[in-house]
Amino acid sequence: MSARATATSPAAARGKERERPSGRSGRVRLTPRASILLFAVFIVGVFAVAPMRAYLVQRSELEGLQRQATQLEQQNTELERRIADLNDPSTLEQLARECLGMVKPGEIAFVPIPKGRAPTLPDCG
């Protein structure tokens, strides 16, 4: 054999590199075991959608209820403060004078009337 017959050209060497070992083609082959695994993962995914959706809905409802509970606790604290304030005798006297127009025995009540307007009532809420 001559040196020329055993030498390979660069083009021939590249052609040999493209050949797959053991005669495999470029396509991915799906084995029965892999197809069963893929099917099982698909089924698990399908059955996981509904519980995940329910979990997310319940989590958002829980956050809303927690915000509502915080707001109600703040209102409750304010109402308890208002109750304590209304149990104070000086506050009750002030409300009786301003809102009901009450006076102590011997006092004379005056109601100022603005010119050109009706008198405004105090806020007794």
Q: Divide the 125 residues of the chain into consecutive groups of 10 and give the mean pLDDT of each group.
A: 56 55 70 91 90 94 98 98 94 88 88 79 74
Total domains in the chain come to: 1
Of 50, 32, 29, 52, residue with least CA distance to 40: 32
For 95, other C-beta atoms within 10 Å of its C-beta total 15
Instruction: State residue 27's pLDDT score.
Output: 80
Asked, for residue 118, whether it belongs to a domain, the answer is no
Angle at Cα 119 formed by Cα 116 and Cα 122, nearest 5°? 150
Cβ 113 vs Cβ 87: under 8 Å: no
Task: Return all residues near 124 (Cβ < 8 A) that are at least 6 apart.
Answer: 95, 98, 99
Would you say residue 25 lies in a domain? no
User: Is residue 36 in some structural domain?
Assistant: yes
Length of the chain: 125
Which pLDDT value is given to residue 13?
A: 55
Look at residue 120 and tell me if it is in a domain: no
Query: Which pLDDT value is given to residue 1?
Result: 53
Q: Does 49 map to a domain?
A: yes
- Give the domain extent around 81: 31-100
Does 72 map to a domain?
yes
Residue 26 covered by a domain: no
Q: Token pair for residue 43?
A: 């089924």
So what's the pLDDT on residue 110? Answer: 80
CA-based torsion, 53, 59, 63, 64: positive or negative: positive
SS3 call for 124: coil
Distance, C-alpha 84 to centroid of its chain: 36
| Whole-prediction pTM | 0.49
Residue 18 counted as domain residue: no
State the pLDDT at residue 83. Answer: 95
